[in-house]
A = this chain, B = another copy of it.
Amino acid sequence: MRVNAQALNQFSKDLFVAKGVSDEHAQTMANALTWADLRGVDTHGISRVPMYFRLLDSKEMNAKPKLRVLQETLALTVLEADRSAGPIAMQEASDIAMKKAKHTGVGLVMVRNTTHTASLGIYSEKIAKSGMACIALAASRPNMGYYGSKAAGVSTAPFSMAVPGPKGQAIILDMASGIVSLGKLAQLKAKNEALQPGWALDAEGQETIDPQKALIPLPLGGPKGSGLSLMFEMMASLPVLNPLIGHFFSDKEDAQRHCQNAWVMAIDIQQVCPEASFAEEMLNTIKALKALPVDEKVGTEILMPGERGYKEREKREQQGVPIPPKMQATLIDLATQYKVASPF
């Protein structure tokens, strides 16, 4: 079943408001989910509402956060997110980063103590569309194997880079440091489809292709992926003194709590390069790559980072967002429970 994106947006906003979130914050959260739903990132769309509700119930996510700037230099800000829903803190961080970049050329906001950031591409796209370049990353608690170990030690931490692209769109790389996502493992489990070798460990730390036993995703390229994830923790969590790995393995009562830290960086490239010249070289680069011989085993054309998402967005804006029956039932249950009108 396909549902109109605007209807899904209103529905998730209404659900968050019913849960005690302010109108403005609920809209920001709903917009983040809709961004992913439209671009085909189904793991980060409205399917996240039940998780956000669980986090609000357990108080790991704060329904009424008060964001505040903890530290500030000319190009660097530490933003205390007060356990806000990720999109609230990340949007605020993006605005601060762009403002600082306008002034100094580069603005970096370290977001402290937020929750699930949603797709980093939301923020990197926004910054790129303003004419700047963006680097964003997030650190989370361990759920991925650390190279050389048989257990989860780091997270499938995401990383995004974006720059202004043609047609008012952005070029958006939005990737995780794992070779496979937890969402994909869950999908294979549901379908009982075998994994590829090297994708995951079982509970005992043995590599497995059995979808019923696969539990811990492995890092992209061994030490590269787990190294990236660890560096994100060391850069985003330690300087704001909100360690996630150290805390997770401590004997503290809330060691298992959900928490994230993140970076949003804006680089005002227009201060060193005329917009039109950048756009011209961008077109040349894209044209050169699109003229390469296509590998027909992969697809029918060569795509830029983020391009598939734009194509999917165009399609879903017209045809609606597909919602699997099981997810639909879960959301209808929430609608009934919270007395919110459902689009289903």
Contact = CB atoms under 8 A, between A and B. Distances in A.
Nearest to A206: B295
Interface string A284-296: 1101110111110
A108 B104 CA distance: 11
B105 A150 contact: no
11 contacts: A73-B268, A76-B105, A104-B106, A133-B234, A148-B299, A153-B302, A171-B231, A205-B295, A223-B305, A241-B277, A246-B284
A164 to B, nearest CB: 9
A152 to B, nearest CB: 8
Given A163-B231, A269-B239, A75 B74 contact: yes
A293 B149 contact: yes
Assembly of this chain: how many copies? 2
A334 interface: no
B75 A234 contact: no
Interface in A50-76: 70-71, 73-76
Interface string A77-107: 0100000000000000000000000011111
From A179, A246, A293, A304, residue with most partner B Cβ within 10 Å: A246
A271 interface: yes
